[in-house]
């Protein structure tokens, strides 16, 4: 998977114009988990990054995403 990470608000807005489906989201989460493992990160370190305050997601959305990532971490070999 080779999708660019948006670097500014304009790129984020442009992403909203592209269709996103469940398969793309699942693949992105799996890739994040695999990259974190390859860097030697623990699940707790990855979850700390996800839960860190940012302007893209609300706190409830970050918690929900962290739960999904934790499930993916447990389910991926």
The model's pTM is 0.72
Q: Is the dihedral of CA 55, 59, 64, 66 positive or negative?
A: positive
Residues 2-6 have a mean pLDDT of 62
**What value, to the nearest 5°, has the Cα angle with vertex 71 and ends 68 and 67?**
35
pLDDT, tens digit, 9 for 90 and up, residues 5-55: 667 778 777 777 877 788 888 888 898 999 999 999 999 999 999 898 777
**Cα(50)–Cα(67) distance, integer angstroms:** 10
Q: Residue 28 contacts by C-beta under 8 Å, 6 or more apart in sequence?
A: 1, 3
């Amino acid at each position: 998977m080779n999708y660019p990470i948006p670097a500014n608000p304009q790129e984020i807005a442009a992403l909203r114009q592209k269709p996103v489906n469940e398969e793309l989201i699942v693949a992105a989460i799996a890739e994040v988990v695999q990259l974190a493992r390859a860097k030697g990160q623990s699940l707790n370190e990855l979850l700390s990054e996800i839960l860190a305050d940012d302007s893209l997601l609300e706190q409830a959305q970050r918690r929900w995403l962290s739960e999904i990532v934790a499930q993916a971490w447990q389910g991926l070999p």
